């Protein structure tokens, strides 16, 4: 058995058993999430755990409603067809016992302010592209998902539904100022075993400079 098996256990799960996830287990996943690296150790993450099935369904419906409004404004049938086929993937969480919502808080980047102050705007824009506050929370959410998989649970990283963030905020107000929704994930016991999509060969993903 490899010491890295806990990584290979993580797969995108979209179908779940009708079985609750104890808060004690969720807190263990959240503890793992707090051990992620973050720039300047700001730990600018916050999680909202939704176990209310009615609220989860309302969020799914809000996403569908916004999607319908988008489709109404798209005049190209081919684009409409392409958009519609993805809708079901944005709301797979509606059948899960728990919905995890990952939020990202402010991350102060003095480097950008300094670079702009001295007129080095190209360099400032490069720093902006690194999206440091997103990187911090992404690392935390990955830790959460790895812990969940190792504990026998399934998750699925979802960002597509964030186009309905404004509508979701009316259902789940974020009490922490300056925090924005970054991603959501269903959480539960997988209905069945699934196979992860084929990964690129290791030789394809690195460049060695000796």
- Note the pLDDT of residue 191: 94
Helices and strands of the chain, counted as H and E runs:
8, 4
- Note the pLDDT of residue 100: 98
C-alpha 98, offset from chain centre: 14
Residue 104 clears pLDDT 90, i.e. is over it: yes
Percent of the chain whose pLDDT exceeds 90: 71
- Note the pLDDT of residue 156: 97
Please indicate, yes or no, whether the overall pTM of this predicted structure exceeds 0.75: yes
Range with the poorest average pLDDT among 114-123, 142-151, 192-201: 192-201
What's the pLDDT tens digit per position in 166-180? 999 999 998 889 999
Residue 42 to residue 181: CA distance in whole angstroms: 17
**DSSP-derived pairing of the beta strands 154-155 and 180-188:** antiparallel
- Note the pLDDT of residue 88: 83
* Mean pLDDT for the stretch of residues 49-65: 96
Q: CA–CA distance from 157 to each of 10, 136, 145, 154, 208 (Å)?
A: 11, 15, 9, 10, 30
Residue 30 — pLDDT band, cuts 50, 70, 90?
A: very high
* Mean pLDDT for the stretch of residues 21-26: 98
Burial tier of 130 (Cβ tally within 10 Å: 0-12, 13-18, 19+)? exposed
Q: Which tokens sit at 175?
A: 């009490």
Residue 81 — pLDDT band, cuts 50, 70, 90?
A: confident
Whole-angstrom Cα Rg for the chain: 19
Residue 40 to residue 123: CA distance in whole angstroms: 20
Contact between 133 and 18 under an 8 Å Cβ cutoff? The reply is no
- Note the pLDDT of residue 74: 85
- Note the pLDDT of residue 112: 86
Residue 77 — pLDDT band, cuts 50, 70, 90?
A: confident
- Note the pLDDT of residue 33: 98
* Mean pLDDT for the stretch of residues 21-27: 98
Residue 37 to residue 22: CA distance in whole angstroms: 26
**CATH class of domain segment(s) 11-189:** alpha beta
- Note the pLDDT of residue 46: 98
Angle, helices 110-117/121-129, rounded to nearest 10 degrees: 160
């Amino acid at each position: 058995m490899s010491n890295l098996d806990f990584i290979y256990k993580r797969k995108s799960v979209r179908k779940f058993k009708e079985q609750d996830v104890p808060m004690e287990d969720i807190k263990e996943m959240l503890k793992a999430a707090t051990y992620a690296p973050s720039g300047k150790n700001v730990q600018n993450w916050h999680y909202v755990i939704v176990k209310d099935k009615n609220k989860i369904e309302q969020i799914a419906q809000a996403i569908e409603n916004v999607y319908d409004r988008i489709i109404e404004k798209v005049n190209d049938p081919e684009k409409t067809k392409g958009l519609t086929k993805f809708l079901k993937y944005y709301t797979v969480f509606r059948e899960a016992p728990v919905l995890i919502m990952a939020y990202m808080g402010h991350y102060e980047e003095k480097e950008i302010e300094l670079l702009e102050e001295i007129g080095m705007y190209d360099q400032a824009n490069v720093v902006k592209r690194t999206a440091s506050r997103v990187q911090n929370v992404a690392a935390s959410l990955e830790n959460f998902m790895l812990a969940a998989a190792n504990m026998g649970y399934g998750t699925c990283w979802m960002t597509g539904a964030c186009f309905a963030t404004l509508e979701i905020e009316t259902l789940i107000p974020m009490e922490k100022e300056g925090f924005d929704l970054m991603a959501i994930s269903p959480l539960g016991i997988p209905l069945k075993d699934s196979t992860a999509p084929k990964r690129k060969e290791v030789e394809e993903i690195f460049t060695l400079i000796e």
